[in-house]
Amino acid sequence: MSNRTMARSRHVLPRRLFVAIQAVFLISIALIVLVPLVAIFVGTFQDGNAIIRNGVTLDVDLSELSLDNYVMLFTDSGLYFRWFANTLGLTIAQVAGTLLVSSFVAYGFAMYDFKGKNAGFVAVLLLMTVPFEMMMLPLYVLVNDFGLADSYAVIVLPFLAAAVTIFFFRQYFLGIPKELLEAGRVDGVTEFGIFFRLVLPISMPAVAAMAILNGMIIWNNFLWPLLVLRSAEKFTLPIGLNTLLTPHANNYELLIIGAFFSLIPILVLFLLFQRFFVAGMTAGALKG
């Protein structure tokens, strides 16, 4: 065996060892993350009294498992599917609106020069540092003054210009050459046409990443809808599931299976677009 071959084998062995260690580590982390999901899934086959006694656990008696909870979900779940539809509709509407408005704002910060541009962007950065709990009370007072309480509009409209989404899109757009915009203007394309026909198609990784991120946040949003929604039939899924726990009666059967089904849309969304999510997050972090 030549010296070159021996040297190459010495380099290959540590690399393979590192890959093996990395694979074992990642698989271990994945199993740890999956254990609660599997426990919740097993809990959907358990009686509510068993869940109260033992909690959500994988240590169960297989003879006690049944499909009664699934039968109840699809035959006697009350407003559960109404809450599910409310949450799904609000999530789709707010994600679409947030992506549109925030990308417009970010496009202006990235591609145009105007008076107050830097001050405006600093304001966006400062807004990212302010917890929502500090803005919640004045926003709630404003909502009541305008008579918008107990409506879906008040859940969607105040958050269409999301500071984090604006910042992310702005960083991504900075990596797009401005010569592309100039070429579009030379060809007679309008400013809106440049955005929708030239910039947006090559920004799909960023759009997909922000769609997943905002979708998860909006789907699980609890505090703000709890403050502004009054009618039970308008509740979102997190609020509706929370109403199943009362001092007088606890419907753990519906709570556990309802919570499990509430995971499915976001899980499917992430699995379908995880490739775009990783690419978009990486590009948004590096560009600019």
Query: Which tens digits make up the pLDDT trace of 66-80?
Result: 888 888 888 877 888
Same domain, 199 and 248: yes
Instruction: Using alpha carbons, list the distances in angstroms from residue 1 to 6, 8, 53.
Output: 7, 11, 67
Same domain, 43 and 124: no
CA atoms lying within 13 Å on the CB side of residue 43:
26
What's the token pair of residue 12? 């290959």
Give per-residue pLDDT as tens, 102-145.
999 999 998 888 888 889 889 988 988 888 888 888 888 888 88
What is the rounded distance in angstroms from the CA atom of residue 49 to the CA atom of residue 46? 8
Domain boundary residue, one of 30, 45, 70: 70
**Under 8 Å between Cβ of 284 and 170:** no
Same domain, 90 and 196: yes
Count of CB atoms situated within 10 Å of the CB of 130: 10
What's the token pair of residue 35? 């254990």
Domain boundary residue, one of 48, 70, 92: 70
Same domain, 111 and 53: no
How many structural domains compose the chain? 2
Same domain, 27 and 168: no
Name beta bridge partners: 245: 250
- When pLDDT is averaged across residues 226-235 and rounded to a whole number, the result is 90
Domain boundary residue, one of 70, 99, 129: 70
Same domain, 93 and 65: no
**Under 8 Å between Cβ of 128 and 167:** yes
96 burial level (CB within 10 Å; 0-12, 13-18, 19+): middle
Same domain, 153 and 17: no
C-alpha 118: how far from its chain's center?
Answer: 29
The pTM (predicted TM-score) of the whole model is 0.81
**What residue numbers bound the domain in which 138 lies?**
78-286
